[in-house]
Amino acid sequence: CRFSQMLHPIFEEASNVIKEEYPDKNQVVFARVDCDQHSDIAQRYRISKYPTLKLFRNGMMMKREYRGQRSVTAIADYIRQQKSNPIREVQDLEEISSLDRSRRNIVGYFEQKDSDNYRTFERVANILHDDCVFLSAFGAISKAERFSGDNIIYKPPGENAPDMVYLGSLTNFDLVYAWTQDKCVPLVREITFENGEELTEEGLPFLILFHMKDDLESLEKFQQEVARQLIGEKGTINFLHADCDKFRHPLLHIQKTPADCPVIAIDSFRHMYVFPDFSDLSIPGKLKQFVLDLHSGKLHREFHHGPDPTDVAPGQPIQDLASSPPESSFQKLAPSEHRYTLLREKDEL
């Protein structure tokens, strides 16, 4: 790969620069993988374009890969930025009352910084700092909030949104991470031109609500039904919402325009499938069945061959469709060598 060969000396020089600043091998490790020789590693981390630069923390691959300039300075600066402390230490509890409540805030109250509890909190913050704002208070400053010992509080967006308290073990990284991730990463996320590729690389199909930017009512209904019907499918499909005006091109793939919004569709990275009618959203089990039909292959099968025999009323002929379902709108962002990209669409706006 010519581009991999071009990056090789730059990557190596960047590693030498960082090694001088962080000589302890436990601080930063640069590594490279020959994916021809180790295809199992490439497959495990869904690597399909080269060269790819991935960041790992505590053995976990981060969602956001490095997409900055391929230069020694840029890569070294990126590592320095990643080494910066993701937790802001507050000096007065008044700072907590003036937090930006449009953000998701996680606040840890600890007796001392040199403790196992805080080290767990620090590890979690290092992984999720792009999704939440992390703050900490220690000693006398935090004493009023430590009436039952060290604790972690989640302050969700919204001035009147109630706080949530972590009730598990503070030294159990897996428990703290799972709780914090659940609070920091919304069940329904917005897809944009900036994060489209990142979301695609998670490898899960998309269930997308296309809505007008100011149509918050439809978004709230979608969020409620996803939480009610599909919470058990969280690891099998990504729940997203998109601005109809910005994503006109994907709508065209399913013969829709912004005037038709709100529209719900699944993008499997092969084809797009449209939920029959947004007004059916509140029918118990309707949205869940739509997702289950994707997993079972029913959506794909019916697009090619018409309704399954079990879904056809007696005497009704089975339609044989010659055309395929609409192609995926985001497949180019997934590992692929064709289809248009969101970036191109962004340039056209």
Q: At what angle do helices 116-128 and 173-184 cross, to 10 degrees?
A: 40
**CA proximity to 206, closest of 302, 129, 274, 117:** 274
pLDDT of residue 335: 44
Domain boundary among 121, 150, 184: 184
pLDDT score for 121: 96
Residue 257 to residue 263: CA distance in whole angstroms: 9
SS3 333: coil
- What are phi and psi for residue 269, nearest 5 degrees? 75, -5
Q: In which domain, by residue range, is 11 found?
A: 2-83
Q: Are residues 236 and 127 in the same domain?
A: no
Position 236 scores a pLDDT of 86
Final residue belonging to a domain, choices 83, 102, 126: 83
pLDDT at 321: 39
Check whether residue 259 and residue 197 sit in a common domain.
yes
pTM as predicted? 0.66
pLDDT at residue 170, rounded to an integer: 95
**Could you tell me the CATH number of the domain that includes residue 99?**
3.40.30.10
* 3-state secondary structure at position 64: coil
Ranges of the chain with pLDDT below 50: 312-323, 335-349
Q: Are residues 236 and 281 in the same domain?
A: yes
From the list 229, 236, 263, 232, the residue with the least C-alpha distance to 247 is 263
Q: Is residue 339 part of a domain?
A: no
Instruction: Specify whether the CB–CB gap between 66 and 53 falls below 8 A.
Output: yes
| Inter-residue long-range contacts of 231-238, CB under 8 Å, 24+ positions, other chains counted | 231/187, 233/288, 233/291, 234/187, 235/204, 236/204, 236/291, 236/295, 237/204, 237/205, 237/206, 237/207, 237/266, 237/291, 237/294, 238/189, 238/199, 238/202, 238/204, 238/205, 238/206, 238/207
Considering 56, 83, 110, which residue would you say is the last residue of a domain? 83
Structure tokens at 241: 């919402």
Residues 326 and 196 both lie in one domain: yes
Q: What is the pLDDT of residues 159-185, one digit of tens each?
A: 888 999 999 999 999 999 999 998 998
